Amino acid sequence: MNTTRAPFKLFLARWGWFVGLGALLILALVSYGRNPTSTEAVLASTVRQATPLVLGALCGLWGERSAVINIGIEGQMLLAAFIGFLVNVWTGNLLIAVLAGALTGALLGALLAFMSVTLKIDQIIGGTVINILALGLTGYFYQQGLTTQGKLQPIPLGPLADIPLIGQVLFNNPPITYLTILIVFISHYILFYTRWGLRTRAVGEHPRAADTLGINVYLMRYVNVIMGGALAGLAGAFLTLEAVGSFERAMTNGRGFVALAVMIFGKWTPLGSWGAALLFGFATAMQTQLQFMGVNIPHQFIGMLPYLLTIVVLAGFVGRARPPAADGVPYEKE
Amino acid sequence: MSETFVLEVRNITKRFPGVLANDRVNFTLRKGEIHTLLGENGAGKSTLMNIVYGLYSPDEGEFFIDGQPVDIKNPHDAIQQGIGMVHQHFMLVPVFTVLENIILGSEVTRGTSLDLTKAREQVNALSREYGLEVAPDAIVEDLPVGVQQRVEIVKALYRKVKILVLDEPTAVLTPQEAEDLFRIMRHLTERGVSIIFISHKLKEVLAISDRITVMRRGQVVGTTTPADTNESGLAAMMVGRQVVLQVDKGPAQPAEAVLTVKDLHVLDERHLDVVRGVSFAVHSGEILGIAGVQGNGQTELVEALTGLRKVESGSVTLDGAPVPPRDPRFLFERGMAHIPEDRHKHGLVLPYSIADNLALVAYYKPPFANGIQRNEQAIIENAVHLIEQYDIRTPGELLPAGNLSGGNQQKVIVARELSRAPRFLLANQPTRGLDVGSIEYIHKQIVAARDSGAAVLLISAELDEIMSLADRIAVMFHGEIVAIVEAGKVTKEQLGLMMTGTSAAEALA
Ligand SMILES: Nc1ncnc2c1ncn2[C@@H]1O[C@H](COP(=O)(O)OP(=O)(O)OP(=O)(O)O)[C@@H](O)[C@H]1O
Ligand SMILES: [Mg+2]
């Protein structure tokens, strides 16, 4: 029997990521040769810009893999950023502050899980409730003039940090950025290589089948949404405690929604999401760099860069992805 | 004093809104026996089994395992008690591999990781031991139903079942696959597994069962053995009246061709050529049956004829008009009716009410719509009428179709399609999962449609159904039609030979 699938399409579907990665690598090397300082700056900034995005994407991913759509990531990040900041103001302890941020995200996750798993409210509405709640609370309790006692500082990893280019980009980062890279790989491992991951995916694809095998669908969904919430909380803590060092109203600035896009571009996989987040991060970093260098293009156009790049890459390289089959559907017994 | 049963349920009662699905049901299972549950569509068989498996909780009743009272509150408890179930609608995760489906919920781990290597060995050992061939790394959605079912059985064996419930396992199998299943079932009982078997096919029930318990409207009517009864005895016990098991029809009066297919080529998902140059015509006033082992291109042929799948080359015309690609409405507007193979995927919108499902095809036209507005009253009236006419067992027309028993879901589709007085009827496994009484009725309706001038294309894995209903029979093998014969002039054996690749010249010699 004859197969008739366009070989080029097949090639792109399978190797698209590597082709893209390879091209970027070559580009990076060439540009490093010509201008080491700004290349380093752009790439280091890429990694940090990507941090909250990939954390948010992982939050969405853990929810959706178990069939709970979370559009409240923005709110989870925002409130966590705020609480983390306040805790730091009160205690002066950055570790406790970061934990408080993660805990805030987790609690909002529990709220979302309660609304969508137990009450079976429409999940989009549940997420919106969280976004509005976070916006309202942070707006109401926000006080001007509060200052923190420092923020998380980069920790160079010994001699690794001295490697040209890579050293500054990968091995001289503040703690949440390191942690995030670790979390990406741990998430990948859990999702695809452990019992928990298998059950999570089953619950997202065919909850009744999982139920008939003695798996507690509701419990799986609760835990995943809460753990995801903690990751979104960590992203919030990153913003106030690592990136900026202070809180401003609505400072998440849509990152929670971009994170969802990142998750989809990453085809609901942790590594894919990381790749997508880096791409977004890179475009954002380029945008800043271009404005900084005073390139003669209206800044509105430069501002479009992240989005344009996304569209081009998506259209060109990423094949069609399929969301979990039960995504967004509450589970009814009987 | 009394015998100890592997499983005994006493006085199980289960109510759904408006239905008494199980009414003080008693049931016993002996070690190593095959005990068949028989009953009309909606009699409460699946409900009883779902209760035994812990998926539904009974309103009243007790369970005993090996004589000991036990509590089964969820599937986890049932699995602990050694109960396994293959559901009427399979419970497999389509995007998972066979192996992942089998181990799900009972995973073997090494440290924190899944130990797929060990699991694969265990599964391979199981499939060798029981002669259940499965490819552990195949993706389930790519597999034919017969194989999916094998996966379900391996899944149960993997959990070391003592009691295996098979809810209508043969409804979706070809006769060959069913034979395979029976061999496996006997093999299992020899090893001490006890089996509860549900089926509507009386022949196989008589052949395989040790005991047979018949249910009607939620109650147990009685228990018998194959030695003490026969097909018509069972049918009468189930339905409560005599059933005519033979189709009674006059000779066909074929007139002009309604559907003409010329040199049709169709590809499947993997872009393999699965329908290869098929040509035939279905005439007004005749039933053309397509016989073939499942997976020889019938599914893709039907999808192409109904506009669900792209036609690679060749032509399909309906009353002389070429059928445009992917335009099901064109077909419906010209009087095509379709009873699809997979009732969940293509036949029903499960969360919609029965009434809406019955109006699904013509919802945009009067009487179901006035301009852009739905005409609720017409939709309800239509439903009430069809529920009565087709004996759909339901507490009301507003029940979601998904809450109907499997056979009653099928009746909803058949009622909708036949009630439109079709010009061309494409019936793909039209009586799958129906009880004998309903089959009798639906066969009559199909013959009536033929007699009023419809062209009928019948596809069925049941050779008996094809032989008794069709006027002409086309045999499909490897994507080609290898012969078209008059129904009266061919034996079951000859058909069987052609379906498995013997050339027509040889088979009919
Ligand atoms: N989840 C549910 N909600 C409401 N009613 C239900 C539900 N499940 C089953 N029923 C009703 O209970 C009755 C028994 O259904 P059941 O599925 O047990 O029948 P069955 O004997 O298995 O029939 P079939 O041979 O058609 O599969 C039917 O009237 C059905 O409509
Ligand atoms: Mg049933």
Number of domains chain A is built from: 1
Contacts of A20 (CB under 8 A, 6+ apart): A313, A317
DSSP state of A71: -
**Residue A331: inside a domain, yes or no?**
no
Chain A neighbors of B270, CB-CB under 8 A = 3
Q: What residue ranges do the domains of chain B occupy?
A: 7-239, 244-335+422-509, 350-421
Residue A159 or B96, more confident: B96
Q: Containing domain of residue A46, as a range?
A: 16-142+169-317
Structural domain B7-239, CATH architecture: 3-Layer(aba) Sandwich (3.40)
Q: What is the pLDDT of residues A242-274, one digit of tens each?
A: 998 889 888 998 899 989 989 988 889 999 999
Buried b (16+ CB within 10 A) or exposed e, A14-45: eebbeebeeeeeeebeeebeeeeeebbbbbbb
Residues 464-503 of B with CB under 8 A from A: none
- Cβ atoms of B103 and B121 within 8 Å: the answer is no
Task: Give me the pLDDT at residue A2, please.
Answer: 38
Atom of ligand 1 minimally distant from the CA of B393? 29
Task: Give me the pLDDT at residue B1, please.
Answer: 44
Q: In which residue ranges of chain B is pLDDT below 70?
A: 1-2
Task: Give me the pLDDT at residue A314, please.
Answer: 63
User: Predicted confidence band at A14 (pLDDT cuts at 50, 70, 90)?
Assistant: low
Residues 181-200 of A with CB under 8 A from B: 193-195, 198-199
pLDDT of A61 higher than 90: yes
For residue A232, give the CATH number of its domain.
1.10.3470
Tokens 């405690």 correspond to A241
> What are B105's two structure tokens?
């919920």
**Residue A257: inside a domain, yes or no?**
yes
Mutate to test the pocket of ligand 1, among B15, B46, B51 (most ligand atoms within 8 A of CB): B46
DSSP state of A159: G
Cα(B418)–Cα(B340) distance, integer angstroms = 13
- State the distance from the centre of ligand 2 to the C-alpha of B225, rounded, in angstroms: 22
Residues B498/B501/B504/B507 CA torsion (nearest 10 deg): -60
Cα(A197)–Cα(A317) distance, integer angstroms = 27
**Chain A nearest-CA residue for B478:** A1
**CA-CA distances (angstroms) from residue A236 to A98, B26, B131, B439, B490?**
9, 59, 56, 63, 75
Contacts of A194 (CB under 8 A, 6+ apart): B109, B112, B113, B114
Task: Give me the pLDDT at residue B136, please.
Answer: 93
User: Mind giving me the DSSP string for B53-67?
Assistant: TTSS--SEEEEEETT
Q: Give the Cβ contact number of residue A46 at 10 Å.
A: 21
Q: How many helices (H) and strands (E) does chain A have?
A: 13, 2
B110 vs A: CB within 8 A: no
Q: What is the pLDDT of residues A23-60, one digit of tens each?
A: 877 887 787 778 878 888 888 889 999 999 999 999 99
Residue B105 backbone dihedrals phi, psi, to 5 degrees? 90, -20
CB of B409 within 6 A of ligand 1: the answer is no
Domain B244-335+422-509: CATH class, spelled out: alpha beta
- State percent of chain A over pLDDT 90: 54
Q: What is the pLDDT of residues B444-472, one digit of tens each?
A: 989 999 999 999 999 987 888 999 899 99
Decide: helix, strand or coil at residue B43.
coil
**Residue A9: inside a domain, yes or no?**
no
Contacts of B65 (CB under 8 A, 6+ apart): B6, B7, B81, B82
ipTM (interface pTM): 0.87
- Cβ atoms of B46 and B167 within 8 Å: the answer is yes
**Residue A249: inside a domain, yes or no?**
yes
Residue A19 or B409, more confident: B409
**Residue A157: inside a domain, yes or no?**
no
What is the CA B149 to chain-centroid distance, rounded?
A: 12
User: Predicted confidence band at A7 (pLDDT cuts at 50, 70, 90)?
Assistant: low
B108 vs A: CB within 8 A: no
**Residue A305: inside a domain, yes or no?**
yes
Question: Which residues have CB atoms below 5 A from the ion given as ligand 2?
Answer: B 46, 88, 405-406
B111 vs A: CB within 8 A: no
Residue A1 or B264, more confident: B264
Beta bridge partners of B196: B35, B165
Nearest to B93 among A5, A205, A334 (CB): A205
